[in-house]
A and B are shown apart, each in its own frame.
Chain A
Amino acid sequence: MMGGIGTMVEKLTVSSSPHVWSENTTSKIMLDVVIALLPATVGAIYFFRLNAAILIALAVITAVLTEMVIQKIRKQPITISDYSAVVTGLLLVLNIPASAPWWIPIVGSIFAIAVVKQLFGGLGQNFMNPALAARIMLMLSWTDQMTQWVKPGADAVSGATPLSFVKGLTEVPSKAPDMYDLIVGNVAGSMGETSAILLILGGLYLIYRGVISPKVPAIFIGTVAAITLIAGGFDFNFMLYHIFAGGLMIGAIFMATDYASSPVTAKGKVFFALGCGIIASMIRLYGAYPEGVGFSILLMNVAAPLIEKYTAPRVFGEVKK
């Protein structure tokens, strides 16, 4: 007879199949992005000391608080535990110079979360990368504060960014920082974008965890490499300089891969990354600004829905026309 407890079979759940779900959740994905940004964050604090730590804390706390307040106002469930606001705050502050005044990350985080993310419907609905849009807004509004670059170290000596050395040139001038410092991050610039190696480390983690496809960063960086190689008359040094200087690594690995503002289709990702690479290179080589990665991603963000529409995969069994 009955081996277990009495067979009280009542109130059985009835639902549509499937009846099992993967362990993966949105918060796990966002937490993975935070983890992937940690090397660059720690690097920023190492290179730019206390000021960096303060700005990072201000940006992240403001982003989370803004999300909470807006959701309270909109009478929506509070979702700050999904880490998405942390990701936005962190990404934004890593794109800010370490010399920036304390209110810059606060204004930026509020703009990113309140305007770019929540006004458009919240998580998954933003048509631009919130951190990137906020960075561009800050740069256009407070250009002085946003371009007061400092060299790494506690004494905050002002310095030029590596990309400004090659602006308008097709070769790397001798006074430019050397390649080793570029890769390690021992150069002036936004506090989190300077160290290529730490960003790549984070990117490898995201690829390993299946959070991002390697396609987008590989094609984005590859396109910039190809164009700068041609523009520099096959000067490998010039090409490598462009790859490791500026915001290409953080942009290609952490911003162009933003889910909400990039295409979901496999083919769409290719066109998206290709477009990012072309626009970024063109601005760097021929535009008014030394850096074009941010603009390129924002422009492609706007084009993403269209790209997605025209790159629908061939359905299984569909006959090619």
Chain B
Amino acid sequence: MKLLTFKGGIHPPEYKELTEDLPIERAVEPSTVVIPMQQHIGAPCEPIVKVGDRVLVGQKIGEAKGFVSSPVHSSVSGEVKAIDMRPAAGGGEVLSVTIVSDGMNEVDPSVKPKGDIDKLSGKEIIDIIKEAGIVGMGGAAFPTHVKLSPPPEKKIDTIILNGAECEPYLTADHRLMLEAPENVIYGLRAMMKAVGVEKGYIGIESNKPDAIEAMTKAAAEYPNIEVVGLYTKYPQGAEKQLIYACTKREVPSGGLPMDTGVIVNNVGTAAQVAIAIKTGMPLVERITTVTGKAITTPKNLLIKIGVSVKDVMEQCGGLTQKPGKLIMGGPMMGLASHTDEVVITKGASGVLLFTEAEAKMPERGPCIRCGKCVDICPAFLQPLHIANYSNNHMMEAAEKYRALDCIECGSCSFICPSKIPLLQAIRVAKRNIIAKKRKQS
């Protein structure tokens, strides 16, 4: 198989051997779940339950507010104990509904199979996805129904499923493709019908040959679905890079993937769409890789939304040593959390526990202008210059050097021999430039 790829990128150590051969296990039943009202990009949900209410599995407890938003459902049956602010994975706090489980897992009567996709209209499929609270499960958590509803003037001809899983450590998508490839295909077919496109791709990195094989087999009877092998390189799964690898189309600077006629979704999201149509169960649980040197028994777990990281760690045999860092997601783009009280959300692809030694920040030296960051930037930027302008508060110059085209993959910070936090400085520039643009408009 000829491997597809993009220009630039890096090869961080993978560490996937910790979990890639471990079948997905169902996590132990939680006694309590804390479900955040904002687990997605967009407007937060408004709670529609009160303290003392009895709720059922799959019952909607948070109503989406606004177009770019996504409803939230209960993952257990039990009693609402509190509605208050709780620590959020990205720092700060988020309004959350605490439910004490009664252990019965009584399913809400609204949860019913939706029928076969051949009998559903495109609009019906999008409504099912919207009501099931499905968001991008690769980590970004953008509401999926919004992605699948482009403005009519945008002609979409291709849907790409992202099975690259290019982040080190993470194996949740890998296991899903091995264990439930039929759900991935079913979800892709539903999305293709919803948007009315003829061509579907599933891109998988070459370090998962078994997943490529399983998906190819599952896609065999659908000639318009093509499973493509991708060269193993980070950030192969970044939206723009994946579109380029599969179609050789470049998302225009400042534009969106749909400007190239492509919509990208994660394989996990597709499988969730299949579950929502086949069983009617909204997004109340997900596969998460719990891994890292500081955890005793790394696992791929099917975990209910709202279970605390603390409970998850306990199920993985606890800690081998004092942890230095807790990362929600992968090590390249994940968010470091200051507490283990944060919970599994819809976008939680990984829970990564670093030792104190791994968490130690490297000492930063002066830029030696080696140009490595320029060589590897997948957006073809000059990170050293943007970061330098940002650090000197020269935001106009940073903008001229196209700071806004940065995809925040972190490859520059990774490769820098002087360990300069380039991406951090570029993020500061981006925030400043965007804030200024808002003020002007």
Chain A residues with a Cβ under 8 A of chain B: 1-9, 12-22, 24-26, 28-29, 79, 82, 84, 122-125, 259-260, 264-266, 312-319
Check B424 against A313 for contact (C-beta < 8 Å).
no
Bound form: Cα–Cα A15–B366 in Å? 20
Question: Which residues does chain B contribute within 8 Å of A4, judged by CB atoms?
Answer: 296, 317-321
B354 in contact with A17 (CB, 8 Å): no
B104 at the interface (CB under 8 A from A): no
A-B contact pairs, 11 of them (CB 8 A): A9-B319, A9-B323, A14-B336, A18-B332, A20-B168, A20-B331, A82-B365, A125-B366, A260-B369, A264-B371, A316-B405
Contact A18 B366 (CB under 8 A): no
Of B62-70, B188-196, B246-254, the segment with at least 4 beta carbons within 8 Å of chain A is B246-254
Instruction: Output the least CB separation between B421 and chain A (Å).
Output: 7
Determine the chain B residues whose CB is within 8 A of the CB of A13 once the complex forms. Answer: 324-325, 336, 354, 359-361
CB nearest to A313 among chain B residues: B380
Given contacts A3-B318, A312-B382, contact A29 B336 (CB under 8 A): no
Give Cα A267 to B250, complex, Å: 21
Give min CB distance, B336 to chain A, whole Å: 5
Which chain A residues lie closer than 8 Å to B324 at the CB level? Answer: 12-13
Q: Provide the B395-422 mask, 1 if CB < 8 A to any CB of A, else 0.
A: 0000001100100101001111111010
Given contacts A13-B360, A20-B13, list 10 more A-B pairs with CB under 8 A. A9-B339, A13-B359, A17-B331, A20-B12, A21-B416, A22-B416, A25-B417, A313-B380, A317-B240, A317-B405
Residue B105 lies at the interface, judged by CB distance under 8 Å to chain A: no
Which among A3, A5, A316 has the greatest number of chain B C-beta atoms within 10 A?
A316
Task: Name the A residues within 8 Å of B321 (CB-CB).
Answer: 4-5
B317 proximity list for chain A (CB < 8 A): 2-4
A22 contacts across to B, CB distance below 8 A: 10, 12, 414-417
Least distance between B379 CB and chain A CB atoms (Å): 5
Contacts A2-B318, A18-B332, A26-B417 given; indicate if A12 touches B339 (C-beta within 8 A).
Answer: yes
Taking a contact as CB atoms under 8 Å apart, the answer to whether A15 and B336 are in contact is yes
Give Cα distance in the complex from A123 to B91, angstroms. 36
> Closest A-chain residue to B15, C-beta based?
A20
**Is B263 engaged at the interface, CB distance under 8 Å to the other chain?**
no
B283 within 8 A of A: no
Contact assessment for B369 and A264 in the assembled complex, using a CB-CB cutoff below 8 Å: yes
Per the bound structure, the CA–CA distance linking A123 and B365 in Å amounts to 9
B245 in the interface, Cβ–Cβ < 8 Å? no
Q: For residue A116, give the distance in angstroms from its CB to the closest CB of chain B.
A: 15
The 8 closest A-B pairs by CB, nearest first: A3-B317, A18-B410, A264-B371, A2-B318, A317-B253, A16-B424, A124-B368, A4-B318
Complex CA–CA separation, A266 to B323 (angstroms): 42
The interface residues of chain B lying within 8 Å CB-to-CB of A260 are 368-369
CA distance A47 to B51 in the complex (A): 89
Contacts of B218 in A (CB 8 A): none
Classify the interface of chain B: helix, strand, loop or mixed: loop
A21 to B364, CA, bound (A): 12
Q: Point out the residues of chain A lying under 8 angstroms from B320, CB to CB.
A: 4-5
> Chain B's nearest CB lies how many Å from the CB of A165?
38
Distance in Å: Cβ of B343 to nearest Cβ of chain A: 14
Question: What CA separation (Å) do A296 and B133 show in the bound complex?
Answer: 65
Contact B326 A9 (CB under 8 A): yes
CA A12 to CA B338, docked complex, whole Å: 5
- B322 touches which one: A8, A18, A265, A315 (CB < 8 A)? A8
Contact present for B379 and A17 (CB under 8 Å): no
In the complex, residue of chain B having the shortest beta-carbon distance to the beta carbon of A124: B368
B378 within 8 A of A: yes
Complex Cα gap A28–B372 (Å)? 14
Cβ contact within 8 Å between B255 and A317: yes
- Bound-complex Cα distance A264 to B401 (A): 14
A312–B335 CA distance with the chains assembled, in angstroms: 32
Q: Residues of B contacting A5 with CB < 8 Å?
A: 318-322
Identify the closest chain A residue to B378 (Cβ). Answer: A316
List residues of B (319-375) whose CB comes within 8 Å of A's CBs.
319-327, 331-340, 352, 354, 359-362, 365-372, 374-375
The CA of A175 and the CA of B12, in the complex, are separated in Å by 57
CA distance A23 to B293 in the complex (A): 18
Min distance, Cβ A1 to any Cβ of chain B, angstroms: 7
For A312, the chain B residues whose CB sits under 8 A away are: 382, 401
List the B side residues contacting A15 at CB < 8 Å.
325, 336, 361
> How distant is the Cα of A22 from the Cα of B91 in the complex, in angstroms?
26
Contact digits for B285-326, partner A, Cβ 8 Å, 1 yes 0 no: 000000000001100000000000010011001111111111
Which residues of A sit under 8 angstroms from B310, Cβ to Cβ?
7, 9
Interface set, chain B 250-285, CB cutoff 8 A to A: 250-255
A12 and B156 alpha carbons, distance in the complex (Å): 44
Point out the residues of chain B lying under 8 angstroms from A264, CB to CB: 369-371, 374, 382, 384
Question: With A2-B318, A7-B314, A26-B417 in contact, is A19–B331 under 8 Å at CB?
Answer: yes
B427 within 8 A of A: yes
Residue of B nearest to A264 (CB): B371
Q: Which residues of B contact A8 (CB under 8 A)?
A: 322
Report the bound CA distance from A143 to B371 in whole Å: 36
| Cβ–Cβ < 8 Å partners of A122 in chain B | 366
Q: B366 touching A17 by the CB < 8 A rule?
A: no
Tell me which residues across on chain A come within 8 A of B379, comparing CB atoms: 315-317
Asked whether any CB of chain A lies closer than 8 Å to the CB of B423, the reply is yes
B43 in contact (CB, < 8 A): no
The residue of chain A having its C-beta at the shortest distance from the C-beta of B323 within the complex is A9
Q: Which residues of B contact A315 (CB under 8 A)?
A: 253, 379-381, 402, 405
